[in-house]
Amino acid sequence: MVKTSYANIYAEPSFSSEMVTQALFFESLDIISEHGNWYRISQWDGYQGYVHKFYLCQEGDAQGNRVTLTDRTTPIYSSKERQDVSLLAPFGASLNCRYDSGEWMAFNLDSDSYYLKNSTESNTVPSRELVSEYCGRLIGSPYLWGGKTPLGYDCSGFVQAVYAAIGINLERDTSKQIKEASSTSIELSDALPGDLVFFDIDGNGVDHVGIWIGDERVAHCGGQVKVQSIHDDTHTRLIDHIIEIKSMGPHLNG
């Protein structure tokens, strides 16, 4: 289990190799093999890579309610009284918590107790409105190849993170997200907030993805997470590169 805010996952068991993705705080990883101070692991989405052992600890508390954190970052405290911040858990981290004295929730990790303020949202019905709201909370997050946190996303990591936060699991990479069997292809004129828009920016096939927000705008991570008109020509006019739009209607209420 990941005990830090996030853990970098590499293509090879070396910090000098390419970072291919990240795992979030409290995320369980399946260990495939051991390589000195590294593990080859598999994540919940089937993504595989190498993680250094210092990111990890034994499984945390399995009791309590599963809570997904939807603030940009959530302070995790080692003490309710002193309110010492141990780490900042990123948007999308999911952990088992028990209610503790009113405004607090608690959980155990690596034989220690930790606390967070009980500010989680009760209404997390997967809706188009909630997708748009979560996109807005991540505006300004920088681009990072392989990134899956507000400290840095790549385009498909951003889309996966937003949908995971409402309980919908998508593939990690754009090339697989576009093949999502339960999502149907639609015309641009039929797109609704929350639908996925795929692009071929470099002319070599699908290489970018964003979330339709409405009013001819897309939320995507290009340089940073932003909401951009598909007609904006200050850099790349997105409408010229759209190759497919997938309806997320089967997954969303409203």
pLDDT per position as a tens digit, 164-178: 999 999 999 999 999
Helix axes 128-137, 155-164, angle to 10 degrees: 130
pLDDT per position as a tens digit, 11-44: 999 999 999 999 999 999 999 999 999 999 999 9
Angle in degrees, CA 75, 155, 96, rounded to 5: 35
Q: Which CATH class is domain 65-117?
A: mainly beta
Q: What pLDDT, on a 0 to 100 scale, did the predictor assign at position 60?
A: 67
Asked whether the domain spanning 65-117 has the same topology as the one spanning 6-55, the reply is: yes
Average pLDDT over residues 54-59: 91
Please state, as a whole number, how many other Cβ atoms lie within 10 Å of the Cβ of residue 241: 18
The pTM assigned to this predicted structure is 0.95
Q: What pLDDT, on a 0 to 100 scale, did the predictor assign at position 114?
A: 94
Q: What pLDDT, on a 0 to 100 scale, did the predictor assign at position 121?
A: 60
Domain range list for the chain: 6-55, 65-117, 128-251
Fold of 6-55: SH3 type barrels. (2.30.30)
What's the mean pLDDT when you consider all of the chain?
94
Average pLDDT over residues 111-140: 87
Q: Which CATH class is domain 128-251?
A: alpha beta
